[in-house]
Structure 1
């Protein structure tokens, strides 16, 4: 590299070719970005927040099913997640959750979130109350309870 030094009233300066100056500027900017990235990573580790790759965040932002996206990100099959500790559902049920055929109760979403190692908020948009998740079952339960109340009233 050709460097020319000159004395000026404000001190000695170095004169370098423009191409070398531009190369050094690129390296300087990359170093600043690396420092910024290192700070963000260190902060995220300290805060113990969920760290997801941009591609996963984009999939979630685009409205893709969070259970499927996060399961795939964790490298799990449907069978792995369905039989994970605390979850214990059928693979077909999980498939229905992932395709939107079923919504699933909030209690199940808590278990799935734990198995996927994410906060419930990551799954919350599709979680519903138990009654909303299984309206037929709750209608039957309501009918049975009404029948029991009638029987008590007759005695």
Structure 2
């Protein structure tokens, strides 16, 4: 089955563009379905921009969830000083600590590191 088809470059590029648009539409549909199922959420741009600008993701997500350091410490079973140290960049926190914080904030570990 070595059949070949020759088409003009313009047609090839048009087909390639259509395939990319179809893949984008499928991704969009998948994300919309995940959002409807509660598996994905939108983060307002001001919070996303803060993370992109280098601010501590832990602080950004904590504030996005409307939590104080003390409230997050209680929810995660973590010492408040550990949270302050991680947010200030003095410490990174153990995997177990970050896992507990991520669970309390309803985000993935990857969102915090």
Question: Structure 2: which 5+ residue stretches go unaligned?
Answer: 1-27
Q: Which residue of 2 aligns with 1:61?
A: 52
Q: CA RMSD in A?
A: 2.0
Task: State the 1:50 CA deviation.
Answer: 3.2
User: TM-score with structure 2 length normalisation?
Assistant: 0.65
Aligned mates of 1:80, 1:60 — CA distance in 2: 21
Match of 2:42 among 20, 32, 51: 51
Higher RCO, 1 vs 2 (CA within 8 Å, ≥6 residues apart): 2
User: TM-score with structure 1 length normalisation?
Assistant: 0.49
Higher strand share: 1
Q: Which residue of 2 aligns with 1:104?
A: 93
Work out the number of aligned pairs and report it.
83
Bigger Rg, structure 1 or 2: 1
Secondary structure at 1:83's aligned position in 2? helix
Question: Structure 1: which 5+ residue stretches go unaligned?
Answer: 1-38, 125-155
1:108-147 pair list within 5 angstroms? 108-124=97-113
